[in-house]
Amino acid sequence: MTNEKDKQLEDFRRKHDENSALTTNQGLKMAEDEFSLKAGERGPTLLEDFHFREKMTHFDHERIPERIVHARGYGAHGEFELYESQEKYTKAKFLNDTSKKTPVFVRFSTVQGSRGANDTVRDARGFAVKFYTEEGNYDLVGNNIPVFFIQDAIKFPDLVHAVKPEPHNEIPQGGTAHDTFWDFFAQNPESTHMTMWTMSDRGLPKSYRMMEGFGVHTFRLVNKEGKSVFVKFHWKPLLGTHQLIWDEAQIIAGKNPDFNREDLYESIEKGDYPEWELGIQVIEEKDEFNFDFDILDPTKLWPEEEVPVQVIGKMTLNRNVDNVFAETEQVAFHPGHLVPGIDFSNDPLLQGRLFSYTDTQLSRLGGPNFHQLPINRPVCPFANNQRDGMHQTFVHTGQTSYHNNAINGNHPHTTPVEEGGFESYHEKIDAHKVRARSESFKDFYSQAKMFYNSLSQPEKDHLIDGFSFELGKCKHDFVKENAVNNINHVDKELAATIAKRIGVKPPSEDVEVKSDKKSPALSMENTVKKLDTLSVAVLVTEDSKEDELKGLIKAFTDNKVNYKLVAKEATTIGSLKVTETFDTVHSTFFDGIVVVDAKLPLLPPVKDYIEAANRHFKTIGYTTQAKEAIEATSVKPDGVGIVEVKDAKDYLAELAIIRHWDRKL
């Protein structure tokens, strides 16, 4: 429906924006915008002041309802390029033609908190991608965790009511450290596997750029011959998957609540474009029942060691939005936005999502025409007989708005499958109508155990910290006990450790899943580690040596390491400008620190800087003259990952390890 008139209207609006005269919404140039119309300089405002009324009315209606879940999000534009044609699996054109770049828009989000919540809360993260393909918009609306809390969509309102701030006091904001969530967890054991993930480091991504994405559900790919395979989608960040430590996340929440969004925005502004490879796991229809889990169950993942991830393309985010409301807030994702060659499986969670997403936009975006908003419009032509409605911005012309018609040559017409028309996969269904859980969905603990078995010792310790913090905050002992009893099915020792930390009796039942199955791909310890875009705080005073600093800075920039000079006061060192102070940034924002000056006054914030970097297992460097400054803290100058910087190379080699878990504190 993008017709000539529509274009003219857009041109007109663009010109209008460029015209700097301030007008009313009717185009009237105003001579005054500072003062309302009053009866005398000290008198009452007059009702006839149409300009005041229009301005205020518009302002009064500036807000739209936030998303029920995933309210706090941040987005960016980019493109997707395909490495190799996937014709054998799918006829989707954007997965067939390697010469084309497909524009994308991505929105990352937290789930529980409201729009104004913190970035670094413990939570799953949304990872929603809209591909603007020549065959229509395809949305891959996923998370950074490969499994979900529940198996059937009908339980989603219950889950979300339990997760969200409690209705009687609206506490807590941003996380799940409260009774109703843990009551839900204990009463709905299918949620165990995903909860293990959210309590682990996966619930605290260091950066959206360093976060995996998963389509979660099993989908279908369908090729030109109509043959279908089952598929799971993965996004693998080229910088690897990295986490915050819980203590760090909590400090950052206070010192920079916009930590993740700022990181994404600034990386793109700088030209450090975030990249992810798209991977697919494929299971042939004939193998549907050859696994020890049901492939339709969204609480189960497909271990990569059993079903390898085939990397098929790359997504690069290279443009920030012009306006967050118009783009990031108004974007409307929907797992039902498909292109020919991709289809659904019967995963009962996915099936329910297919209803919910359009429905929720009706109240969020105010009516059925939200697809006309610039961020939601397909880049290919689109036309049908849907008409009118709230916020209709197209001027549909002509006499007909029905199918079939002869008056308008049956325009718009359907397209045969051979010419790119969509048809649903011809799956044979022969069943009774039932409200029931499939027997094959009833194993709630084996994969939770596999996840636990796959973690490194530091990751296991962090998981215990996560559980202990959240359960420890519950008010009811029976809620804590029930939750620990549920964990006991996964691992007896884990349950006993948590029980001790939160002061409830350890479970006595012997119900633990007996399995030592592991999937190494699940441990973030085995992720990519590289220097690119890591960041270092260089602690200086105005007496620091410019040449020495310049040498260090060159080594950092040559290796794509970001740095900030940090001092007590914003100052200059020769030609170098110190942009940050101990008031504005903290060591939790960086991957490492270097102390270059002996004279660095060991005031409490400076000492805390160094000691926090130490307890967060970060690389600490010190110049020979600054050794004393280190010795005046609790940091051991010869500790693991603590280096005397004689040559910047030594420091960078340690920095590339990212966290020195072997450090003795």
Residues forming the active site: 70, 143
Tokens representing 657?
């390890």
Among 118, 143, 454, 497, binds ligand HDE (CB under 6 A): 143
| From candidates 72, 77, 91, 107, binder to ligand HDE by CB under 6 A | 107
CB 301 within 8 A of CB 447: yes
Q: Which string of DSSP letters, residue by residue, matches 292-318?
A: SS-TT-TT----TTTSPPEEEEEEEEE
Residue 73 vs 175, nearer CB to ligand HDE = 73
**Angle at CA 236, nearest 5°, toward 232 and 238?**
165
> How big is the site for ligand HDE, counted in residues (CB under 6 A)?
24
CB of 215 to ligand HDE, least distance (A): 6
Distance CA 605, CA 611 (A): 10
Q: Out of 51, 70, 130, 480, which residue is the one contacting ligand HDE (CB under 6 A)? A: 70
Smallest distance from ligand HDE to CB 523, Å: 22
The yes or no reply on residue 366 touching ligand HDE (CB under 6 A) is no
Pairing of strands 619-622, 562-567: unpaired
What secondary structure does DSSP assign to 149-175, as a single string? S-SSGGGHHHHHHHHSPPTTT---SSS
Choosing from 72, 73, 495, 594, the residue that interacts with ligand HDE (CB under 6 A) is 73
Residue nearest to ligand HDE (CB): 126
Q: Which is nearer to ligand HDE, 141 or 244 (CB)?
A: 141
Residues 343, 229: Cα–Cα separation, whole Å: 10
Q: Contact region for ligand HDE (CB under 6 A) — 164-172, 345-353, 518-526, 642-650? A: 345-353
Binding segment (CB under 6 A) for ligand HDE, from list 92-100, 148-156, 175-183, 419-427: 148-156
- Could you write out the DSSP letters of every residue in 36-86? --BSSTTSPBPTT-HHHHHHHHHHHT---PPPSSS-SEEEEEEEEEESS--
Nearer Cβ to ligand HDE (67/242): 67
Minimum distance, C-beta of residue 202 to ligand HDE, in the bound complex (Å) = 14
Q: What are phi and psi of 547, to 5 degrees?
A: -65, -45
Mark 426-450 as b/e (b = at least 16 C-beta within 10 Å).
eeeeeeeeeeeeeeebebbbbbbbb
Region of 6-14, 69-77, 394-402, 421-429 interacting with ligand HDE (CB under 6 A): 69-77
For ligand HDE, the binding residue among 349, 524, 539, 630 (CB under 6 A) is 349
Query: Binding to ligand HDE by residue 109, rule CB under 6 A?
Result: yes
Shortest CA distance to 283 belongs to which of 305, 302, 298, 300? 302
Buried b (16+ CB within 10 A) or exposed e, 83-106: eeebeebbbbbbbbeeeeebebbb
CA distance 344 to 298: 13
Residue with smaller CB distance to ligand HDE, 108 or 589: 108
Closest by CA to 197, choosing from 458, 457, 463, 442, is 463
Q: In this structure, how many other beta carbons lie within 10 angstroms of the beta carbon of residue 663?
A: 18
CA distance 169 to 493: 35
| Closer CB to ligand HDE, 141 or 339, in the complex | 141
Instruction: Tell me the closest approach of the beta carbon of residue 616 to ligand HDE, in angstroms.
Output: 29
Yes or no: say if 339 and 92 are a contact pair by the CB < 8 Å rule.
Answer: yes
- Please report whether residue 153 would count as binding ligand HDE according to CB under 6 A: yes
Q: Report residue 496 as tokens.
A: 């006993």
For the CB of residue 292, give the shortest distance to ligand HDE in the complex, in Å.
Answer: 22
- Interface residue with ligand HDE among 132, 138, 156, 589 (CB under 6 A) is 156
> Whole-angstrom Cα distance, residue 113 to residue 258?
13
Nearer to ligand HDE, 153 or 522 (CB): 153
For position 128 contacting ligand HDE by CB under 6 A, the verdict is yes
Q: Is 485 in the site for ligand HDE (CB under 6 A)?
A: no
Contact positions with ligand HDE (CB under 6 A) in 175-234: 216
- Site membership for ligand HDE, residue 114 (CB under 6 A): no
| Calpha distance 41→248 (Å, rounded) | 55
In the complex, the smallest distance separating the C-beta of residue 524 from ligand HDE, rounded to whole angstroms, is 20
Give the N- to C-terminal CA distance of the chain in Å, as an integer: 65
For ligand HDE, the closer of residues 68 and 379 by Cβ is 68
Phi-psi label, residue 165: left if phi above 0, alpha if psi -120 to 50, beta otherwise:
beta
Give yes or no for residue 460 binding ligand HDE (CB under 6 A).
no
The least CB distance from residue 128 to ligand HDE, in Å, is: 4
Least Å distance, CB 64 to ligand HDE, is 12
Q: Which is nearer to ligand HDE, 69 or 629 (CB)?
A: 69
Piece in contact with ligand HDE (CB under 6 A), picked from 346-354, 429-437, 576-584, 641-649: 346-354
Positions 297 through 336 that interact with ligand HDE (CB under 6 A) = 331, 333
Q: Is 551 helix (H, G, I), strand (E, B) or coil?
A: helix
**Residue 360 within binding range of ligand HDE, rule CB under 6 A:** yes
Measured CA to CA, the distance from residue 365 to residue 363 in angstroms comes to: 6
657 binds ligand HDE (CB under 6 A): no
Q: Does 112 bind ligand HDE (CB under 6 A)?
A: no
Residue in 142, 165, 175, 240 binding ligand HDE, rule: CB under 6 A: 142
> DSSP states of 503-517 as a string?
TSPPP----------
Stretch that binds ligand HDE, among 218-226, 278-286, 347-355, 566-574 (CB under 6 A): 347-355
337 binds ligand HDE (CB under 6 A): no
Cβ at position 658, least distance to ligand HDE in Å: 27
Q: Is 74 in the site for ligand HDE (CB under 6 A)?
A: no
- Of 150 and 455, the one with the shorter C-beta distance to ligand HDE is 150
Among 308, 336, 352, 412, binds ligand HDE (CB under 6 A): 352
Give CA–CA dist 379/384, Å, rounded.
Answer: 16
Shortest CB 142 distance to ligand HDE, Å: 5
CB of 332 to ligand HDE, least distance (A): 6
Contact 88, 284 (CB under 8 A): no
Residue 619 found at the interface with ligand HDE (CB under 6 A): no
* CA distances (Å), origin 501, targets 179, 201, 465, 512: 17, 19, 9, 20
The pair of structure tokens assigned to 519 is 């999937």
Instruction: Please give the C-alpha separations between residue 311 and each of 36, 178, 272, 563, in angstroms, as whole numbers.
Output: 61, 40, 22, 32
Residues that bind ligand HDE (CB under 6 A): 67-70, 73, 107, 109, 126, 128, 141-143, 148, 153, 156, 216, 331, 333, 349, 352-353, 356-357, 360
